[in-house]
Chain A
Amino acid sequence: MKMLTFFRRTAKEILRDPLNIAFGIGFPLVILLLLTAIQSGMPVSLFAIEELTPGISVFGLSFMTLFSAMLIAKDRSTSLLQRLYTTPLTAEDYILGYTLPLVPIAVAQSIICYIVALLLGLEIRVTILYAVLSSIPMAVFMIALGLLCGSIFNDKQVGGICGALLTNLAAWLSGTWFDLELVGGAFKQAAYALPFVHAVELQRAVLQGDPAGVFPHLWWVLGYACMTVLVSILVFTRKMKKE
């Protein structure tokens, strides 16, 4: 019951902020439309819709980190969290209450992204459904990262770190805007050491109905998700006790 109340509160707080909707859903769609328009005038296939959509879907997930971190950081700075610490809520209530509502929001965001892609020419196929589902491990990673950042940073820092740095990292190191093979070297190595490109390649493989192509990307994303969930829970509960 208490966790459900927290769930509703988190969902309302995020969905009632027009900036969240504009950036979280609107911005990735604008990029999808823009790059598709650019592709239509290009002789080479740089932004083919079946390659681009998984990339935009993963890019959109980076806003889940921003939403989650900003909410927690603001709750800390306005002392709302302090008020809640004086109620009978448990650590699980806080952690699940802050994170679980973002999973359906992330899935909805991915669904909207694919619906727009269908309107832009993506072929209808059952693998779209699986592609949406395959975004969940990355969504969990992004949401847990938000819990971690919100526990450590204040709302201004969160704006810079999650709003600017992370969204750029998710964009540039995902292999969506350009082929990482073209850059190569340390840049490519760094990109493949992080989960973004793996999440995109995982979703591309699922969309193309290529089960073998799912690996090893799924392990990378799951590994990052599990590690971040554990670290964020540890840091959040530690900060909770300290505060």
Chain B
Amino acid sequence: MDSIVISNLTKKYKDVTAVDRLSLSIRAGEIFSLLGVNGAGKTTTLRMLSCLTRPTDGDAMLHGKSILRDMQAVKSMIGVSPQETAVAPNLTSRDNLEMMAGFHGFSREKRRMKTAELTEQLGLHEILNKKARMLSGGWQRRLSIAMALVSQPRILFLDEPTLGLDVLARSDLWDAIRALKGKTTIILTTHYMEEAEVLSDRIAIMKNGRHLLTGTPDEIKNKAETDRFEDAFVKLVKEGN
């Protein structure tokens, strides 16, 4: 079953086409990566899918709801963790989680329950009472993902979730993302080849706003006739027009 169906999605800024007639489908419960170099259109695509940017043309259906006509319904089924950590700095991790639950209209009891559940799920015990600004980059990212999960979204958008993290923090975060697999459809953008290969069920490669191809990591390597995913990406992007 498809969770997201994108049809001819286009975003133009004056003379620049950031996303050019993007069409693809994302299955429910899969981890789907948008991969590309800078300016490929990954973040713009995510912004359009999360109703933050209005497309110039085309549409996308999220579980049957249009990003153009059913924005409130779409917003109620998605969670977004932006490229920046996007946490309230003087609030504790617990406050941040309860704040997001409050914004989704949860009762006090449900806010506490949800906070406890996410603390368990993402292993936030040791930072629960620390102010967000005092946390390391890795913990801030983890908190950011937890905040995006508060509303029990059917679809989770992660924009460069491990940007700027060290190897260990990145590995921890990958585990946290993998643990969500199957329960939530996850769409992530990344610059890191290894991240895309290790985490994703399928990957879409974009270049200059255009969709080059979609496939599993193995399919992409086979298509490029290389053993290493990074080599495959470089070859396909260089050849892609």
Contacts and interface: CB of A to CB of B under 8 A. Distances in A.
Interface in B151-185: 151
Interface stretch (B1-9, B13-21, B96-104, B207-215): B96-104
B131 A16 contact: yes
A88 B90 contact: no
A106 to B, nearest CB: 19
B95 A12 contact: yes
A5 B102 contact: yes
B91 interface: yes
Interface in A177-207: none
Given A78-B85, A83-B86, A83-B147, 10 more contacts: A5-B102, A6-B103, A8-B102, A13-B89, A74-B89, A79-B86, A80-B88, A83-B80, A86-B50, A243-B52
A79 B46 CA distance: 14
26 contacts: A2-B105, A4-B102, A5-B102, A9-B88, A9-B95, A12-B90, A12-B95, A13-B90, A16-B91, A74-B89, A77-B84, A78-B84, A78-B85, A78-B86, A79-B83, A80-B86, A80-B87, A80-B88, A83-B86, A84-B103, A86-B51, A87-B103, A88-B72, A88-B76, A88-B105, A89-B103
A2 B85 CA distance: 22
B104 A82 contact: no
Interface string A66-108: 0000000010011110111111110000000000000000000
A212 interface: no
B76 to A, nearest CB: 6
A9 B84 CA distance: 19
Contact of A88 (B82, B88, B103, B148): B103
Contacts of A87: 75, 100, 103-104, 151
Closest 7 CB pairs of A and B: A5-B102, A79-B82, A79-B84, A16-B90, A79-B86, A83-B86, A87-B103
A21 to B, nearest CB: 12
A76 to B, nearest CB: 10
Interface of B: 50-52, 72, 75-76, 78-91, 95, 98-100, 102-105, 131, 147-148, 151
Contacts of B83: 79
Interface residues of A, number: 25
Contacts of B104: 87-88
A158 B102 CA distance: 29
A85 B52 contact: yes
Among A8, A17, A88, A243, the most chain B Cβ lie within 10 Å of the Cβ of A88
Nearest to B100: A87
A126 interface: no
Contact of B78 (A4, A12, A74, A86): A86
Contacts of B86: 78-80, 82-83
A1 interface: yes
A88 B88 CA distance: 18
Contact of A83 (B82, B90, B95, B102): B82
